[in-house]
Amino acid sequence: MAKSDFTISLVGRPNVGKSTLFNRIAGKRRAITFRIPGVTRDLVSIPLEVDGKRFRLIDTGGYLPGKEEDNLLSKVRGQVLRAIYESDAVIFLVDARDGVLPLDKEILGMLREREKRFFLAANKVDARAGREGIDEFHELAADKIYPISAEHGTGVDRLLEEVLALIPEPVEEPRQEEVVARIAVVGRPNVGKSTLINTLVGYERVISSEVPGTTRDAIDVLVKYGDKRFLFIDTAGIRAKRKTENVLEKISVMKSLDSLQRCDLAVLMIDGPEGLTHQDQQILRYVLNEERAVVVAANKADLWKGEEAKRKGLHAIQEGLGYATFAAIVPTVSPTGKGIPLLFKKIEEAFESFRHRVPTAVLNKMAQASVYSVPIPSKQGRNRALYMTQIGVMPPSFAVFVKERVDVPDSFTRYLQNKIRARFGFNGSPIRIVYKEK
């Protein structure tokens, strides 16, 4: 879907139901919801189309005044203010059960000071206390109060209908749809994923901190580099299951793994000087299981002590990739942007490989010389490949017609993949092989 300039953000105190309303409007569970305040920290956004109206919906962290020395709280507040500044309309959520609180008045003053068009939504009216507390919000002197239940959907359609009335009717313009690569940045906690995203966009789009576990949601960020656009997905750090300490962390890890299902390519970010750890290899297996293209970013490259140490470190990482030796390794330094030009070059190569198609005649010319003449060991006797054709992309997939489909050893599949790579490249992309009997 093309990105629209019209933006609607959800703001309010912590735990008033912003993420629940976000998921209700989006029609899918994109933002994490949990029964403790402060779960959402970063801006979670999604492009939507409702009744022919296109817009971008933003979920924000709960606004708290806090103290300036509280760095994380200050960053969350800054994200909320940025969302308000960039929005065309704001849905201001309050908890109807609590009545008007001082922080509600502070947020209202902030909206009026910035002359933002807002819609006051009194949430949680499914509870008796909520229904009885709506009248109290008249003291806020809003144009209208919208009683809703984000959890059950009561009143949400009416609220959304009036917000969407602000969006001008779309003017259809003929245009060529741009193919935007979807790139999930995955890795262990505190390896520099969020810092990389912020360096790419030029400001703190996602909250970064030296505290592991700062990122909780999977955050979509559109990045323009050169004349192309890329959709990066910043994810929570993935730790070993035995080390995930609570339910919220487990949910964050699940969101990170879900991002692999909706991406084309994964940038596996590791701590370069530390080397490829067991957990890095496990995350790489997650990527390979989803059959996604992959580029490895060896971050914190400035901490290698000299070029010789760097060369040996990169060689050790390459040795540890196993079946993913097709992945490029790029040394990076997230805060400074060092290595980013090469990283984008390898991302583009891998993305093109992921979508590349080989003409059948050219494919079989290669196979005639190095595949069809090679016997395939099997329990049934001598087996062999008879014909090949490419049957799909993303990932590139090949059907190999053989005399006997059963018991084709993995060693032959790897041999076949290596021959295809040697002739056609497919750098950064997995290759899928399926066998059929002819």
C-alpha dihedral (103, 104, 109, 110), degrees to nearest 10: 70
Model confidence pLDDT, tens digit, residues 108-142: 888 888 888 999 999 998 878 778 888 889 988 88
Q: Model pTM greater than 0.85?
A: no
Question: What pLDDT shows up at residue 404?
Answer: 84
Q: Can you tell me the distance from the alpha carbon of 100 to that of 125, in angstroms, rounded to the nearest whole number?
A: 14
Whether the predicted pLDDT of 318 surpasses 90: yes
- With a pLDDT cut of 90, the percent of the chain lying above it is 46
DSSP class per residue in 409-428: -HHHHHHHHHHHHHHH--TT
The DSSP secondary-structure symbol of 3 reads P
Whether the predicted pLDDT of 290 surpasses 90: yes
Question: What pLDDT shows up at residue 171?
Answer: 62
Question: What pLDDT shows up at residue 40?
Answer: 42
H or E segment to which residue 67 belongs: none
Model confidence pLDDT, tens digit, residues 146-204: 999 999 999 999 999 999 999 987 666 555 567 789 999 999 988 988 889 888 887 66
Question: What pLDDT shows up at residue 325?
Answer: 93
> What is the pLDDT averaged over residues 66-79?
54
Our CA angle for 369, 371, 373, nearest 5°, is: 75
Does the fold of domain 360-437 match that of domain 181-355?
no
Question: What pLDDT shows up at residue 69?
Answer: 43
Whether the predicted pLDDT of 207 surpasses 90: no
Whether the predicted pLDDT of 253 surpasses 70: no
More confident residue, 235 or 276: 276
Our CA angle for 413, 416, 422, nearest 5°, is: 140
Question: What pLDDT shows up at residue 240?
Answer: 67
C-alpha dihedral (309, 312, 315, 317), degrees to nearest 10: -60
Model confidence pLDDT, tens digit, residues 257-268: 788 888 999 999
Q: Can you tell me the distance from the alpha carbon of 429 to that of 287, in angstroms, rounded to the nearest whole number?
A: 11
Q: Please give the span between the terminal C-alpha atoms of the chain, in angstroms, as a whole number.
A: 42
CATH architecture for residues 360-437:
2-Layer Sandwich (3.30)
**Residue 15's pLDDT band (boundaries 50, 70, 90)?**
confident
- Over the chain, what is the mean pLDDT? 83
CATH number, domain 7-164:
3.40.50.300
Q: Can you tell me the distance from the alpha carbon of 129 to that of 131, in angstroms, rounded to the nearest whole number?
A: 6
> Per mean pLDDT, which range of 2-6, 98-102, 322-326 is the poorest?
2-6
Question: What pLDDT shows up at residue 35?
Answer: 45
**What is the CATH class of 181-355?**
alpha beta
More confident residue, 32 or 303: 303
As given in the structure block, the two tokens for residue 218 are 């999977």
Domain boundaries, the chain: 7-164, 181-355, 360-437
Question: What pLDDT shows up at residue 289?
Answer: 93
